[in-house]
């Protein structure tokens, strides 16, 4: 699945593996992962629960280090870890910081990236509007529903115009209308910023919107196909 090394590759995995623990209790979450994410990549990462999808996204984001093989980011000039704004990540579980309101949660990565406060406010307002949650700007995470929090997390991921967008079940708590809105938004932002997009999903309606399908089974990428 991997051709010769290209500087335009956003992420490149070669026989990457991630094992937790050691010895007889070790758990192999991902093994022999070989794939490339480019600016034109629009991939649905599919497979049963526990097949390693979330771990793959963490490896692509640089949040976890492979225990074997390699993960590199040629187009980003190295790992994005500690460099806010390069990767927009929508996590599967709750990820909003409870003490911060919606605006502050979305603004935090931009502020950490050194964006001027006036520009931060513009980008945050635009992201919240596009995610359909601008009316929640002043609310705390405990004051909004799970589906609303999911859309706020998407707004946070796209607010900085990232080079790579990784979304872990971003529509799991949404109805059909909001699901389609969020997929539209992720695709639009990826196109506008020439960003690679990988979405882990169980929803066939979401997977069908993406041009490539990566199938995971027991920690291995077993198939890659065009949709």
Query: What 3 state SS string does 16-40 have?
Result: EEEEECCHHHCEEEEEEEEEEECCC
Establish if 5 belongs to a structural domain: no
Establish if 117 belongs to a structural domain: yes
Fill in the DSSP letter of residue 47.
-
What is the per-residue pLDDT for 24?
A: 86
Establish if 123 belongs to a structural domain: yes
**Host domain of residue 53:** 11-226
What is the rounded distance in angstroms from the CA atom of residue 48 to the CA atom of residue 56? 14
Establish if 177 belongs to a structural domain: yes
What is the number of domains present in the chain?
A: 1
Give, to the nearest 10 degrees, the angle between helix 117-130 and helix 146-158: 130
At 37, which CATH number? 3.40.50.300
Establish if 3 belongs to a structural domain: no
Establish if 152 belongs to a structural domain: yes
What is the per-residue pLDDT for 227?
A: 53
Establish if 4 belongs to a structural domain: no
Establish if 150 belongs to a structural domain: yes
User: CA of 66: how far to CAs of 26, 33, 83, 171, 177, in Å?
Assistant: 14, 10, 19, 28, 37
**β-strands 11-20, 68-72: how paired?**
antiparallel
Which segments in the chain show pLDDT lower than 70? 1-7, 225-227
What is the per-residue pLDDT for 1?
A: 47
Short-list 42, 10, 36, 9, CA closest to 186: 42
């Amino acid at each position: 699945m991997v051709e010769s090394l290209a500087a335009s590759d956003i992420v490149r995995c070669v026989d990457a593996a991630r094992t937790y623990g050691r010895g007889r209790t070790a758990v192999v979450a991902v093994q022999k992962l070989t794939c490339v994410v480019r600016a034109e990549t629009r991939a649905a990462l599919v497979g049963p629960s526990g097949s390693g999808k979330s771990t793959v996204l963490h490896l692509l984001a640089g949040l976890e280090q492979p225990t074997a093989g390699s993960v590199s980011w040629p187009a980003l000039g190295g790992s994005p870890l500690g460099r806010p704004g390069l990767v927009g990540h929508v996590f599967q579980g709750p990820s909003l910081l409870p003490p911060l309101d919606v605006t502050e949660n979305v603004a935090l990565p931009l502020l950490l990236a050194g964006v001027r406060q006036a520009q931060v406010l513009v980008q945050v307002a635009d992201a919240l509007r596009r995610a359909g949650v601008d009316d929640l700007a002043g609310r705390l995470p405990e004051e909004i529903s799970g589906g609303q929090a999911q859309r706020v997390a998407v707004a946070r991921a796209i607010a900085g115009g990232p080079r790579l967008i990784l979304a872990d079940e971003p529509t799991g708590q949404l109805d059909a209308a909001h699901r389609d809105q969020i997929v539209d938004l992720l695709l639009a932002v990826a196109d506008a910023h020439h960003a690679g997009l990988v979405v882990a999903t169980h929803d066939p309606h979401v997977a069908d919107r993406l041009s490539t399908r990566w199938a995971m089974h027991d920690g291995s990428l077993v198939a890659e196909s065009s949709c």
